[in-house]
Amino acid sequence: MKIAVFIARLIVGLTFVFSGFVKLVDPLGSSYKFQEYFSADVLNLEFLIPFSLLFSIAMILFEIMLGVLLLLGYLPKFTVWSLLGIMLVFLFLTWYSAYYDKVTDCGCFGDAVKLSTWGTFYKNIVLVILVVLLVWKVKMIQPIMTSNYLKWIAFLSFFSFLYITYYVLVHLPIIDFRPYAIGKNIPEGMQYIGEEEPPIHDFYLESAEGENLTDAVLAEDKVMLVVAYNLSKSDMLGFLNVKNVTDQALANNYKVYLLSASMNEDFLNIKNNYRLNFDMLFCDETTLKTIVRANPGIITLQNGTVTGKWSWVDTDKVKF
């Protein structure tokens, strides 16, 4: 039985640490997933949508710390009962998503690992069984060192994770698992392989006149795209930096566009206020949220290949 408990402890602990880490490096991705769950078509809890980022950060920190505590063997009773509680919530949500086909990707492993809705549900059943075993045999969970050392390790781990969360929210994810990561070629990501849907399936750029400019933009040798998925939610201070970096890009013969799901009229107000020297192209909001986790953010392309990504706070790091 001790071996079974050790294996269960290892599997559950590593799963929670991995799951928490891949979301820790991209908390905005989890907040978008919370918004999807809270929407009218899923749980109909739209009043919680403004708190999605807060829920995201709290869940990520709680999840990864439970994994760390379990592996350390620190506070075992609190840890295993907390694991059981959170797993039962996850089990219900994944069953609900799978049965009613509401959320096609639960985001359990961020953008790092994609599972089907039913695959995620069955994975959670296995984890619940393992956690129940740990609850039953909690006395067999022994700490790996003295309590005083474990306390400091847990303390330092928590604040390290908190700092990482802060850093990636101010800048960009330190690891990019999305199909628009630096080095990825967008046209290649749009190609079908058999019947499987390609990783990029909704990248479409349209001018204010309704002209499809997707292929033209992807064929350009030097392109800078300012991404602002919703201008009403953009940090307006960011456009001061955007003005500087886009003027430099234009001077270096870059084609520059702003991509947004907002109305062109909203952009024209900002264009006039900040004396921007480029036009806007319409693109799907979800796509723009996937491209870069900043509003506004900057992305550069060369013949459709992503060569750079920056948050508006880091435009001084853009190299031409």
Per-residue pLDDT of the chain (320 residues; tens, 9 = 90+): 888 999 999 999 999 999 999 999 999 988 998 898 888 888 888 999 999 999 999 999 999 999 999 999 999 999 999 999 999 998 888 888 777 776 666 556 656 677 777 888 888 899 999 999 999 999 899 998 888 899 999 999 999 999 999 999 999 999 999 999 999 999 999 998 877 889 998 999 999 999 999 999 999 999 999 999 999 999 999 999 999 999 999 999 999 999 999 999 999 999 999 999 999 999 999 999 999 999 999 999 999 999 999 999 999 999 88
pTM for this predicted structure:
0.88
Q: Token pair 């969360």 is at which residue? A: 165
Rounded to 5°, angle at Cα 155 from 150 and 161: 125
Q: Are residues 166 and 240 in the same domain?
A: no
Closest CA to 288 of 220, 176, 204: 204
Q: Are residues 191 and 109 in the same domain?
A: no
Cα 223 from Cα 249, distance rounded (Å): 9
Residue 25 lies in a domain: yes
Q: Are residues 149 and 11 in the same domain?
A: yes
Cβ–Cβ contacts within 10 Å for residue 313, how many? 16
Q: Are residues 197 and 308 in the same domain?
A: yes
Residue 210 lies in a domain: yes
Instruction: Give yes or no for a contact between 77 and 134, defined as CB atoms under 8 angstroms apart.
Output: no
What is the domain extent for residue 262?
A: 186-317
